[in-house]
Amino acid sequence: MNSLNTEIATSVEGNGRFSAKPIPPDAIREQLARILAASGFVNAGQLSRFLRFVVGETLNGRAKKIKQYTVAVGALGHKTDFDPQIDPIVRITAARLRKTLTRYYETEGVQDPIVITLPKGAYVPMFCSRNVMENDAPEQQTAPYKLTMPQGPTIVVLPFDCLLNKQGQYYLVDGLTEQLVVTFNRFPEYLIIGPLPRQNGATGYRDLRAVGQEYGAQFILSGSLRQQGERLRLTVKLTDMVTGGAIWADTFDNEGNLGDLFAFEDMAVNRITAVLGGNFGVIPRTLTEEALAKATEDTAVYDAILRYYYYLAVYTEESRTAAFAALERAVRIAPDYPLTLAFLADLNYLDYHLFGADETVLRVVERLVLRAVTIDPQCQHARFVQACTYYQEGYQELFILKLEQAVALNPNNAFLLFAGSVYLTIIGEQARGATYLARAKRLNPHFPGWIHLPPFLVAYRRGDYVTALAEAKRFNTPAVYVDPLIRAATAGQLGRREEGERAVSELLALHPDFSEHGRGLMRRFFFSHANVQMLADGLAKAGLQLG
């Protein structure tokens, strides 16, 4: 076996699943050509250049030289001063490439003789012969690319119309759509295709149904940038191919001078991705009703993700049970998908944090989080749950550090900002918590009732019980004991005994033994004995003495 074939065979062995049989380089080049001619690649210049480069370098015996820097300079056109520590473009593009390869092999390439994959955390491709896979033991026949992503929705980003006064300024909107794609890829639930190439100086994509059918996409994002004097207006629309109608549209105005364009684009991109993606985004809300009505084996992983999102929006016992069952099933089907591992870890954490589960559940959380971050060190939600475990153990400074590191992985994830604001306010970091909350509300106006806990706590601590009670009533999460608890405590402080007793009755309906075990349960959620005591004082005035 020559050195090149040894390197190719080694790349197969590295998977730990397939036998090491050399694949002729010409066969790999033919497979590469098939992939690059497919719909997901033919118009995706960055992805095509990336894949062509890493495959070519490997076939030419230079696999050991494939690093973030060489990919950025050799494939993506960056200058020689590129710094991978500052610019994450290679990691982001690699994630897009993995998802697009997955979709290719599940559709157009399902019968291809050779499978090319890009392992997580690496940029050297792996090559595997289909007949090797077919000759494996029955329990090993599932190819690794089947487990790299959920069957979540595909979003096609069209080139935006450029209606500026000066000609030749398409680079402005093209840069904006590129930025949209990069930012959207921080949400691992979606497969993002685009931006599609511009045709004849305009978008050229007027038949949206044809575009949706060609790329297997449920959603298409389109828009335009126009100018009136010194004012810019960006109009963006999301179309659902199931109904054919627009399910979201918005406009963004730049009142400043044209020199502020890049700051304007950053603001618009962050708002668009936060409002559409993430736990409380337009896309998950659109898909949830359908997912709750029907789930199949093919969509089980993404169905589990949607059920988790739904549970965090409503916090009912029924939705909690369904989310647990769906995520446990998803982890059995795709044991190496980090997002569902992280979400299952979060549900177990919430069982301890909110519902009094035994401490052994924290060991389950730790195992799931470790598995998720081992597979994908950039898995934001796993890092967030990891931070929460430090919160639970009372390590305030370490919790803040890990929370900020998690948020930095995707600053447009409004859910993490909302949740972070709650935890930060509870531990006394009120200013930092307020900053998180304000950022989250700017990014996404759709939020759950529990985000009223930070302003409740701020008002309660300063003795403004009228404001605190108003915020407590907006909490509106009746299946969680915190809801009646904060209403009872505040009503007690205001001397509204009858109102307080009604809230105490609701609390005892959820936890009949709260007078005996309430302090321990509250300590898990409210972090410190001081927080527990200030609420216990209000409960006592409402007629509930804690042991």
Pair 168, 91 in one domain: no
**Domain-embedded: residue 115:** yes
Same domain, 109 and 187: no
CATH assignment of the domain containing 204: 3.40.50.10610
> So what's the pLDDT on residue 457?
97
- Pick the residue with more confidence: 83 or 427? 427
Task: Answer with the residue of higher pLDDT: 298 or 343.
Answer: 343
User: Same structural domain for residues 178 and 121?
Assistant: no
Digit-coded pLDDT (tens) for 433-443: 999 999 888 88
Residue 2, pLDDT above cutoff 50: no
Predicted confidence (pLDDT) at residue 527 exceeds the cutoff of 80: yes
Residue-level length of the chain: 547
pLDDT band at 23 (very low <50, low <70, confident <90, very high): confident
Distances (CA, A) of 236 to 163, 177, 349: 14, 11, 38
> Is residue 393 situated within a structural domain?
no
Q: What is the CA radius of gyration of the chain?
A: 26
Does 26 share its domain with 142? yes
Q: Is 235 exposed, middle or buried (0-12, 13-18, 19+ CB in 10 A)?
A: middle
Instruction: Say which residue, 93 or 535, is predicted with more confidence.
Output: 535
**Does 289 have pLDDT greater than 50?**
yes
Greater confidence (226 vs 325) lies with 325
25 preceded by a cis bond (ω within 30 of 0): no
User: Same domain, yes or no, for 265 and 180?
Assistant: yes
Task: Check whether residue 24 and residue 79 sit in a common domain.
Answer: yes
Q: Write down the pTM of the prediction.
A: 0.61
Q: Which of 32-36, 133-137, 200-204, 349-353 has the lowest mean pLDDT?
A: 133-137
- Count of other CB atoms within 10 angstroms of residue 428: 16
- Give the CA-trace dihedral at 443, 449, 451, 455, to 10 degrees: 120
What pLDDT score does 166 carry?
60
As a whole-number percent, the residues of the chain with pLDDT over 90 amount to 38
Most confident of 134-143, 241-250, 299-308, 316-325: 316-325
Residues 265 and 193 in one domain: yes
Residue 93 lies inside a defined structural domain of this protein: yes
Q: How confident is the model at residue 130 (pLDDT cuts 50, 70, 90)?
A: low
Which of the residue ranges 74-83, 129-138, 147-156, 464-473 has the most confident prediction, judged by mean pLDDT?
A: 464-473
pLDDT of residue 178: 73
- The whole-number average pLDDT for the span 329-357 is 91
Residue 34 lies in a domain: yes
Looking at the structure, do residues 97 and 188 belong to the same domain, yes or no? no
For the chain, the domain total comes to 3
516 in a domain, yes or no?
A: yes
User: Is 389 among the domain residues?
Assistant: no
Q: Mean pLDDT over residues 298-308, rounded?
A: 77
Which of the pair, 82 or 385, is modelled with greater confidence?
Answer: 385
Is there a single domain that holds both residue 131 and residue 256?
no
Decide which of 259, 276, 293 is a domain's last residue. 276
Tell me the three state secondary structure of residue 328: helix
Does residue 210 form part of some domain? yes
pLDDT band at 524 (very low <50, low <70, confident <90, very high): very high
Q: Which of 15-19, 132-136, 274-278, 407-411 has the lowest mean pLDDT?
A: 15-19
37 inside domain: yes
**Among residues 195, 106, 115, which one has the least CA distance to residue 155?**
195
Residue range 82-92: average pLDDT? 77
Q: Are residues 163 and 250 in the same domain?
A: yes
Q: Is 57 in the same domain as 80? A: yes
Q: Which pLDDT score, from 0 to 100, does residue 316 have? A: 87
To the nearest 10°, the Cα dihedral for 20, 21, 27, 32?
-10
Give the chain's mean pLDDT: 82
Look up residue 126 and give its amino acid.
M
Q: Which of 254, 276, 298 is the last residue of a domain?
A: 276
pLDDT top residue among 91 and 141:
91
CATH of the domain at 455: 1.25.40
- Distance from C-alpha of 183 to C-alpha of 338, rounded to nearest angstrom: 19
Does the pLDDT at position 265 exceed 90? no
Q: Which domain, by its residues, includes 168?
A: 154-276
As to burial, measured by CB atoms within 10 angstroms (0-12 exposed, 13-18 middle, 19+ buried), residue 274 is buried
Last residue of a domain, one of 207, 241, 276: 276
Whether 94 and 212 map to the same domain: the answer is no
Q: What is the pLDDT of residues 462-511, one digit of tens each?
A: 999 999 999 999 999 988 999 999 999 999 999 999 999 999 999 999 99
Q: How confident is the model at residue 147 (pLDDT cuts 50, 70, 90)?
A: very low
